[in-house]
Amino acid sequence: MAKVAIIGSGNIGTDLMFKVMRLSETLEMAVLVGIDPASDGLARAERLGISITSDGVEGLVAHPLFDEIEVVFDATSASAHRSNAGRLLPFGKRLVDLTPAAIGPYVVPCVNLDEHLGAVDLNMVTCGGQATIPVVAAVSSVVPVHYAEIVASISSRSAGPGTRANIDEFTETTASALQAVGGAARGKAIIVLNPAEPPMIMRDTVQVIVNRLDEETEEFVVDAIRDRIAAVAEYVPGYRLKQTVQFSDEGTELDGLLDEVHRGGEYTRVTVFLEVEGAAHYLPAYAGNLDIMTSAALRVAERMVATRVEVTA
């Protein structure tokens, strides 16, 4: 068993702690790190016999178990991760970053994890990225994607202070990863915090623009999307296709969304509707946006430990 620490005792960090304890056969929860001594996450960890510190990353570095820890999850904020990474990397710790800081390579487990197992700081993009990039990558595996746009709709109740503080980073990081990992020539990301009661389950809409498709190629695209959705569902059981994949031929009407290289042709818009229901290990089932992040991060750390490939700077 490989010992791990989690920095961040909020919703994401606490949910991840429960996943490590309940689901992982290769990771051992060692330390939960926070900055608020009164946080619910630290209190729960202490009741479960998990070692805690409320002194942030400095408390982790000074902790008696620090030298034994192989992987550190960071579930804080983009700005905090930049500081935490600078403190921890000189000690040879491997980091799984659940913030949009994007210091290390973007990683979506079912798309490109194997390419980055030697990296020291792996970035989990965003919840919207984890949900939608696999679909964009699936389409890209069949035909070139000229433009990809995603809308992630989550319950406002599942958006804590960290999520709200990172809204700008969310859109920028997700859009960038739609290109770097998903394979789109251009990407755009939108997040909607929905205050509806009762709270809504996470919903994601993916729209991509490709050259005009014939019926046979449409079938290939649908098969690729379904295969990739099944791959995500292996580690996020609540991840599913909400409706049939939709195709719409719109000629040159989409030129405004395309760059100069791709304007003036005939295109097909592919639209995919997704739903992500949380496993409710700590958070409510509607918080699929948090569940997909912690589930993906757990998968990444388990693969890192299982392979233990040579680390590259």
Give residue-wise pLDDT tens across range 52-98: 999 999 999 999 999 999 999 999 999 999 999 999 999 999 999 99
CB 204 within 8 A of CB 128: yes
159 marked as binding residue: yes
Nearest CA to 202 out of 302, 283, 269 is that of 283
Task: Give me the helix-helix angle, 215-233 and 127-140, nearest 10°.
Answer: 140
pTM: 0.93
Token pair in block for residue 42 = 């630290």
Distance CA 259, CA 262 (A): 6
Is the pLDDT assigned to residue 313 strictly greater than 60?
Answer: no
Give the residue with greater pLDDT, 253 vs 4. 4
Distance CA 123, CA 121 (A): 7
Give the residue with greater pLDDT, 113 vs 160. 113
The answer to whether 127 is a known catalytic residue is yes
Is the pLDDT assigned to residue 103 strictly greater than 90?
Answer: yes
Distance CA 277, CA 287 (A): 7
Token pair in block for residue 53 = 């510190």
Report pLDDT digits (tens) over 14-36: 999 999 999 999 999 999 999 99
Is the pLDDT assigned to residue 257 strictly greater than 80?
Answer: no
List of domains in the chain: 2-124+292-307 (3.40.50.720), 127-287 (3.30.360.10)
Which residue has tokens 């909400």? 242
Task: Give me the helix-helix angle, 11-23 and 288-307, nearest 10°.
Answer: 50
Q: Is the peptide bond before 198 cis (omega within 30 degrees of 0)?
A: yes
What's the whole-number mean pLDDT along residues 36-59? 97
Element (H, E) at 283: none
118 marked as binding residue: no
163 marked as binding residue: yes
CB 241 within 8 A of CB 225: yes
Query: Strand pairing partners for 187?
Result: 148
217 marked as binding residue: no
**Catalytic annotation, pick one of 6, 31, 111, 127:** 127
